[in-house]
Amino acid sequence: MRGKGWIWLLSILLLLGAVGLFITLDDRDGSQRFENLPWQIDVRGPDRTEVLGVVLGESTLFELGSGEVRLPIPEVRLFVEPDGTRSVEAYYSNARIPPFEANLVLLLDLDAAGLERIWNERTSERPTPSGARRYGVSDAALRELSRVPVVEMSYVPRARWGADLLRERFGEPSAYIRLDEDQNYWLYPDQGLAIMVPTGRGRTLMHYVTSSRWGRLLERLEEAGSLRLEQAGEGGVS
């Protein structure tokens, strides 16, 4: 009887271990244990969307550094495009929003007057490959910018996400935009999401916007596609 009892106990322990292993494997992507995952998008209205713990149209850099998400201190940069368009971005390198690590770029919601104030507080200058000029900003500008809402976010996970995994998590896109032979954008307008899916060795990029800014995002993507086609044509002629 004693031998049979040990066998019975061992069987129970093995069964419990198998169940635990099954749960762990079934939960290997963290979908049951973690919140604020890239595919969990809550559209609250035309000017509010929550994703990755960030409420686009509401969250500020100060809140993201001191609240539940607790992102590290970003590098804040002022960009001036060749056509004179200005924007301010906060860049986070290797930010961790469990269970993933990613690079983040947050676009701040500044009107013309706000951008002019930041322009007057610019510091260091350097060119960028796109032709835009990049500037640092003063401490006074950083204090002002820390209270400005975020309206767009680019999320570049360190892990490589293939097309099959993207479809599994985000579903089939409503439409596509092809920028060039190496880059395609998958569009999810109801969620304010555009995913750049590289065909080669590049990194996947997920770009989130509020619903009210979706049209502007499409315009930028279409302009980028037209510019690349134009540049490709020029290259072919030469």
- Report, as ranges of residue numbers, the positions in the chain whose pLDDT lies below 70: 1-32, 224-238
β-strand partners of 200: none
Query: What pLDDT score does 223 carry?
Result: 78
Report the C-alpha gap between 178 and 188 in whole angstroms. Answer: 15
Both 196 and 213 in a single domain?
yes
What does the pLDDT look like over 43-74, one tens digit per residue? 999 999 999 999 999 999 999 988 777 788 99
Both 28 and 40 in a single domain?
no
Beta-strand relationship, 193-198 and 205-209: antiparallel
Identify which of 115, 31, 30, 25 has the alpha carbon closest to the alpha carbon of residue 78.
Answer: 115
Q: Kindly report the backbone phi and psi dihedral angles of residue 26, in degrees, each rounded to the nearest multiple of 5, phi listed first.
A: -65, -25
Both 184 and 198 in a single domain?
yes
Query: What pLDDT score does 225 carry?
Result: 62
Query: What pLDDT score does 10 carry?
Result: 38
Report the C-alpha gap between 208 and 193 in whole angstroms. Answer: 5
Both 8 and 93 in a single domain?
no
Looking at the structure of the chain, the number of domains it has is 2
Query: What pLDDT score does 33 carry?
Result: 72
Both 109 and 186 in a single domain?
yes
Both 86 and 131 in a single domain?
yes
Both 117 and 217 in a single domain?
yes
195-200 contact pairs (CB < 8 A, 24+): 195/166, 195/170, 197/163, 197/166
Both 141 and 119 in a single domain?
yes
> Considering Cα of 161, then 162, then 165, then 170, what sign does the dihedral take?
positive
Both 98 and 170 in a single domain?
yes
Query: What pLDDT score does 139 carry?
Result: 96
Model-level pTM? 0.80
Query: What pLDDT score does 227 carry?
Result: 53
Residue-range definition of the domain harbouring residue 7? 1-33
